[in-house]
Structure 1
Amino acid sequence: MDPATIIGLLLAFGSVFAMVTLEGASVEALLLPAPMVLVFGATLAVGLAGNTLRDTLQAFKDLPRAFVAKPAKPQDSIDQLVGFAETARGDGLLALEDEAGKAKDPFLARALQNIADGTDAEELRMLMEDEIDTKQRRDRISSKFFASLGGYAPTIGIIGTVVSLTHVLENLSTPDHLGPMIATAFVATLWGLVSANFLWLPFSSRLKRLSDLEIERMTLLMEGMLAVQNGTQPLLLAERLNAMVPAGQAKGKGKTKGAPAAGELSDLGRAA
């Protein structure tokens, strides 16, 4: 589990709470049911109206991933691919069929099975690229849905404020109550901005980032499996795959026999 989302949200809402407390205001003054119902209810409603029901259900089904998903380490995938290369060179491509049965990742298992079945390299690349593209398009639906909520929420908050100010203008005969009523009117705008920037847009960004990392992992697996099929030497394969991983993500010790880790490869390059 990557706690970044939870930590970020706690710090964001904590900052608002700290400001309200330092200003000597009351938190209860911001927790008004009417504007919150309007902002959250109407935002979800127009989000549903702008998408399909299936898109909405999928977006909220994917939402827990923003809190509990843990991105895979590229080095783990590299070690695994190098192991497949060693198996293929030692026992032949047919030996990868046994590895396909052990693989927990369906994408990887299908690639191993196709290689063992003798699928052409170009055909295998097309199959894997199509699967990656489908995964990317599916993930984009959830990210775009929450991004759309982030766009609607501030405007809906302003609508709530306008509605409340209309009510204020109807009661100009009671000036003693105008101050609290005006303050209440702007709570809708506050919640529109807070929900957009503290919830919907971060959810969208988080899901998009997780999707990008998964696509990068699948691309790494694709290139690795094609190299295994082509008979690439394990050491050369490790060098090539490590070169595909950004320096900040290349963490790990490279447990596979004969496969140096990213840091070791850098040292080898400098020594050369």
Structure 2
Amino acid sequence: MDIASIIGLILGFGAVIGGQILEGGHVSAIIQPTAALIVLGGTIGATFVSFPLANILNALKDARKVLFPPKDDPEAVIKNIINYAAKARRNGLISLEQEAQTVKDSFTKKGISLVVDGIDPQKLRETMEIELNSFEEHAKASAEVFEAAGGFAPTIGIIGAVLGLIHVMNNLSDSSKLGAGIAVAFVATIYGLMTANIICIPISTKLKLRLKEAILQKEMVIEGLIAIQNGENPHFIEQKLRAYLPEGGAGAKKGK
């Protein structure tokens, strides 16, 4: 579980609620079902208009990655590549055919299959980079959905504020209804800003980070398989791949 995301959500909402309490207000004052309906309904509606249903469903599924990061491990990628290199060095590239049948990652599986087929290293790189670009285009759509929702929410909040003020203007003769209209007006703006800046935009940012991590690992796979295809020493391959790790440099170990 991503502790940073949990802390961020708690701090974000806690700061708003805590500020309301410190100012002497009541939490109930910022709980307005009407404002929530306007902002959340309007934001979701605008997002549905902007993207195909499949993209929205994928975005909702990928949102889990914010709290539950993928279990992919760059160290495991390096270890597997080194094992493939050692096996190919001992028994030839054809010996990796069995690995292609057992590996779970489809990207790695396709790369190993191409290596076994004896494809030219340059062609191997071109083919795998096309796969990588396709993966990136599909994966970044989820971040774009939340980014767009984060752009819509504040504007929808302003619409809610205007509707609240219209309600106030229509009931100037009845002072008992003025408070509710003014409350909806201001709370709708708050909901719009909170939805955008505490939920949607941060989720989009975190999904982009997850995507960068996934792309990095796939680039490691490409470089590793090309090195295997070229018959490079497994130790040299390891040093090359470790340069991709956040710490950088040969021989660096990833902190646990």
Q: By the TM > 0.5 criterion, same fold? A: yes
1:224 shift after superposition: 0.6
Q: How far apart, CA to CA, are the structure 2 residues paired with 1:156 and 1:108?
A: 44
Pair 1:262-2:252 in alignment: yes
CA contact (8 A) 2:149 2:196 kept: yes
The C-alpha deviation readout for 1:156-215, integer Å capped at 9, x for no partner, is 101110111111122223446545542332000000000001111111111111111101
Corresponding position of 1:221: 221
Show the counterpart of 2:93.
Answer: 93
Once residues 108 and 36 of structure 2 are traced to their aligned partners in structure 1, the CA distance between those partners, rounded to angstroms, is 46
Alignment of 1:1-272 (within 5 A): 1-70=1-70, 72-175=72-175, 178-179=178-179, 181-247=181-247, 261-262=251-252
Aligned residues: 254
- How large is the RMSD of aligned CA atoms in angstroms? 2.0
| Amino acid of the structure 1 residue aligned with 2:148 | S
Classify the secondary structure of the residue corresponding to 1:104.
Answer: coil
| Structure 1 CA distance for aligned equivalents of residues 84 and 60 of structure 2 | 37
Q: Deviations over 1:110-137 (max 9, x none)?
A: 2112211222222221221111101100
Task: Tell me which residue corresponds to 1:257.
Answer: none
C-alpha separation in 2, matches of 1:178 and 1:36: 19
How far apart, in 2, do the equivalents of 1:206 and 1:263 lie?
Answer: 24
> Residues of 2 paired with 1:145 and 1:128: CA distance?
27
Partner amino acid, structure 2, of 1:198 = I
Q: What's the counterpart of residue 268 of structure 1?
A: none
- Overall identity of the aligned pairs, in %: 38
| Paired amino acid for 2:140 | R
For the 8 Å contact 1:3–1:68, the answer to whether it is kept is no
Letter in 2 for 1:262: A
Identify the range of structure 1 (22-31 vs 188-197) with the bigger mean alpha-carbon deviation.
Answer: 22-31
SS at match of 2:243: helix
- Matched residue of 1:262: which SS? coil
CA contact (8 A) 2:216 2:244 kept: no
Segment of structure 1 superposing worse, 56-65 or 177-186:
177-186
Higher deviation after alignment, 24-33 or 56-65: 56-65
Note the residue ranges of structure 1 that are not aligned, 5 or more in a row.
251-259, 265-272
Q: Aligned partners of 1:47, 1:176: CA distance in 2, in Å? A: 36
Query: Do the aligned partners of 1:71 and 1:213 also contact (CA within 8 Å) in 2?
Result: no
What is the distance in 2 between the residues matched to 1:95 and 1:185? 69
Counterpart of 2:14 in structure 1: which amino acid? G
Instruction: Kindly indicate whether the alpha-carbon contact (under 8 Å) linking 1:2 and 1:70 is maintained by their aligned counterparts in 2.
Output: no
TM-score, normalised to structure 2, is 0.92
Taking structure 1 as reference, are residues 71 and 56 closer, same or farther at Cα in structure 2, changes over 3 Å only?
A: same
Which residue identity lines up with residue 16 of structure 1 in the other structure?
Answer: V
CA distance change for structure 1 residues 213 and 263 in 2, over 3 Å: closer, same or farther?
closer
Task: Output the CA distance in 1 between the equivalents of 2:3 and 2:136.
Answer: 24
